[in-house]
Amino acid sequence: MKDLPLSKAYQFIEPGPVIFLVTSDEGKPNLMSMSAHIVIQDDERPLIGCAIGPWDYSFGTLQKTKECVLAVPTAELATKVVEIGNCSGADTDKFKVFGLTPKPAKNVKVPLVAECLVNLECRLYDQIGQYNLVILEVVRGWIDLKHKDQRMLHHNGNGTFRVDGEELDLRDKMVKWPSYVQR
Amino acid sequence: MKDLPLSKAYQFIEPGPVIFLVTSDEGKPNLMSMSAHIVIQDDERPLIGCAIGPWDYSFGTLQKTKECVLAVPTAELATKVVEIGNCSGADTDKFKVFGLTPKPAKNVKVPLVAECLVNLECRLYDQIGQYNLVILEVVRGWIDLKHKDQRMLHHNGNGTFRVDGEELDLRDKMVKWPSYVQR
């Protein structure tokens, strides 16, 4: 995996892909699938909001350890994404059952998911209990450029998804922030 | 346009499409493009969070009128999406300049965008100033089934986009909430 500059992390979250939220409770890793997240700050110090609540098993571990990894799977993991979202870490060793590989992170004691395109090491920065939102600060990013198929997944509800299709390059229309567009 | 049940509104926001946020200041409609939004509550009374701040011209109008419309464009509007995001309602009549048609809504005094696939009439429900988040309550939804091409757009940063591609139907894997899956 290659370093992903923090200022580019938003490019993999803003499009709304299904992601995994990975936690680790005393060395026992777990992960959940989620599609409710928002880029709150997209500069060198990214903040990402995620909707997660007490009904999620991962919530307790996140409260305890204050850190997690957001991992972005590609389309080839679609079936596992749904299966992982339909069982609980309370009684299932999901990394083992679904054949995923935990890989040591650098800044947090939560593993990366080796099979994912992007992994973001995060710290719990704040929470807004009223709306079951946690605010995560991304402290390190990784991208695995070995993935030939980098298409992400988008959840349209009830187990139906759209895979990334055609790419559109409209950078020439970004006249308001021309210096921002990196070519 | 056909009624979209409120319980299905999340299916068009959760996948992370680029959307328009439409406001109207004393009968003068305006719209902005945005990609930072989150489904906070996805039942019969949907709540959607959006990152919008004082630097956005629409922010002032939203504060004043407490209502807006979230409209979901399809891929054919891609160029307009970027152009609309690269000018300001302070000096541009965007509906006129970009040839969009305002259409009266039912529950709010903000127009729908006739060219969009889905329009959600919203009221300002709450705001979290610290993170420049507004929480919107969806009070009515519309879907225009005349659109043959219903592919949505996802922003990957700096004016690059992915269009919805292949559809995946994994409803059979939704074993945890089988009654939730409507066929």
Q: What is the pLDDT of residues B70-79, one digit of tens each?
A: 999 999 999 9
Cα(B95)–Cα(B112) distance, rounded to whole angstroms?
11
Residue B163 corresponds to which tokens in the numbers above?
A: 């269009």
In total, chain A counts a number of residues equal to 183
ipTM for the complex? 0.94
Q: Residue B172, class by beta-carbon neighbours within 10 Å (0-12 exposed, 13-18 middle, 19+ buried)?
A: exposed
Judged by CB atoms closer than 8 Å, whether chains meet at B131 and A135 is answered as yes
Which of A132, A155, A168 best probes binding to B when mutated, by most B CB atoms within 10 angstroms?
A: A168
Helix (H) or strand (E) holding B136: strand B133-143
Nearest C-alpha neighbor of B70 from the set B121, B117, B33 = B121
Q: Chains A and B: how many Cβ contacts under 8 Å?
A: 193
Report the pLDDT value the prediction gives residue A180, as an integer from 0 to 100. Answer: 60
Nearest C-alpha neighbor of A69 from the set A154, A153, A138 = A138
pLDDT tens for each residue of B118-170: 999 999 999 999 999 999 999 999 999 999 999 999 999 999 999 999 999 99
Report the pLDDT value the prediction gives residue B179, as an integer from 0 to 100. Answer: 60
Q: What is the DSSP letter of A98?
A: T
pLDDT tens for each residue of A18-74: 999 999 999 999 999 999 999 999 888 899 999 999 999 999 999 999 999 999 999
* Partner A, chain B 79-138, Cβ-Cβ below 8 Å: 79, 82-83, 85-87, 128, 131-133, 135
Cα(B61)–Cα(B54) distance, rounded to whole angstroms?
10
Judged by CB atoms closer than 8 Å, whether chains meet at B14 and A11 is answered as no
CA atoms within a 13 Å half-sphere pointing along the CA-CB vector of B125:
18
Report the pLDDT value the prediction gives residue B183, as an integer from 0 to 100. Answer: 45
The CA-based angle A125-A118-B173, given to 5 degrees, is 95
Report the pLDDT value the prediction gives residue B66, as an integer from 0 to 100. Answer: 98
Judged by CB atoms closer than 8 Å, whether chains meet at A158 and B182 is answered as yes
Q: Strand A2-3 to strand A133-143: parallel, antiparallel, or no bridges (unpaired)?
A: antiparallel
pLDDT tens for each residue of B22-56: 999 999 999 999 999 999 998 888 999 999 999 99
**CA max distance for chain B:** 52
**CA max distance for chain A:** 52
Report the pLDDT value the prediction gives residue A172, as an integer from 0 to 100. Answer: 93
Measure CB to CB from residue A86 to each of B131, B165, B173 and give the nearest one.
B173
- The three-class DSSP label of residue B97 is helix
